[in-house]
Amino acid sequence: TLINGMRVAARAVSSALLLVILLNYVFAIVLLMVLEDREEMKENFGTLGECMYTLIMDGTFMDSTRDVLGSLRTMDNDGLQGWVSISVFLIYVLLTNITVMNMLIGIVCEVVSEVKREDEEGVAIDFMKEHLRTMLTDLDQDKNENISKSELQSVVEDEKAKVVLSELQVKPEDVIDLTEYLFEQDEDAGREQEVTREELLEVILKIRGGRTISNQDIIDVRCDIRRIVQRQTNMVLREVSYLQRCLTEVVHRTGGMLPSPRPSHRGPAVTVAPPTEVPTAQAST
């Protein structure tokens, strides 16, 4: 775990060390510009290389910080040059030793913790896979490397399977419900409803308790919903088509049973003359 943590944290460590080197170079130039004319500082700040060495040893690694700061404080001048040098040196210590190095320690600890968690999860998954393979092998009654729908139903009654699934915090009923789509794919394709042991193994590992949800799980749920809606829609369309054919057949049969219309044999039509208008006087009489 420690070696894997060092390998994963190599990028962060390299970036932090590069930042320390850049800060060391810049602050060495500043101190060299301030102290290059001081004879008593030639030993520690005489050249750029000596400035960088003093900063890295006494400022970053904190080897003898008190001695360097004491020599800067007791320079025989008006005091301004010494205090400027002390301020620059302390700013360098604040940026490198206190900020970058402590940040680097936090990054390394976080990376090692994450690597440790992943390693433990990987070992646990391998351990669970071995138990699940043994369980699925026992469920495979015909020993054809596949699990049929009837064979999977026995997971509810098998005591050993219950124990293995309980360790994974998985209910046997959930295994049957969540693997239904695998059998539906075979049914739609007209094949025998069987799934491989590895496919069933992956499904059980995905629904185990304590597992964190990933983006892939959300995508799988969306695909499952789309597949279920599409399957139900196809079933409804098939039923509607079947009902339509049945209704058409009933209409044809009913039309054949009705008698055909016969022509009428009535005589010629008689035209009735409209009544003549009666005079008003006669009508009153």
The amino acid at 16:
A
What is the pLDDT averaged over residues 85-111? 92
122 neighbors 114 (Cβ within 8 angstroms): no
Task: Give the count of beta carbons closer than 10 Å to the beta carbon of residue 213.
Answer: 8
What is the pLDDT averaged over residues 169-197? 70
pTM tops 0.85 = no
Place of tokens 């185990």: 208
171 neighbors 126 (Cβ within 8 angstroms): no
Rounded Cα distance, 258 and 250, in Å: 13
pLDDT of res. 205: 76
Instruction: Using the predicted structure, report yes or no on whether residue 284 has a pLDDT greater than 60.
Output: no
Place of tokens 């124990």: 163
What is the pLDDT averaged over residues 59-88? 82
Mean pLDDT taken over the chain? 78
pLDDT band at residue 234 under the 50/70/90 scheme? confident
The amino acid at 255:
G
What is the pLDDT averaged over residues 82-87? 88
pLDDT of res. 139: 72
In the chain, which residue ranges form alpha helices assigned H by DSSP? 2-8, 10-35, 42-45, 48-54, 65-73, 80-93, 101-139, 149-153, 159-167, 172-178, 180-189, 197-206, 215-257, 280-284
Name the residue with higher pLDDT: 66 or 163: 66
> Among residues 206, 199, 162, 197, which one has the least CA distance to residue 181?
199
pLDDT band at residue 259 under the 50/70/90 scheme? low
What is the pLDDT averaged over residues 169-192? 69
pLDDT of res. 187: 64
Enter the tokens of residue 191.
């094949």
pLDDT of res. 216: 76
What is the pLDDT averaged over residues 54-63? 91
pLDDT of res. 72: 85
pLDDT band at residue 282 under the 50/70/90 scheme? very low
pLDDT, tens digit, 9 for 90 and up, residues 1-30: 888 888 888 998 999 999 999 999 999 999
> Among residues 149, 211, 143, 138, which one has the least CA distance to residue 179?
149
Evaluate the CA torsion angle 122, 127, 132, 138 in order and state its sign: positive
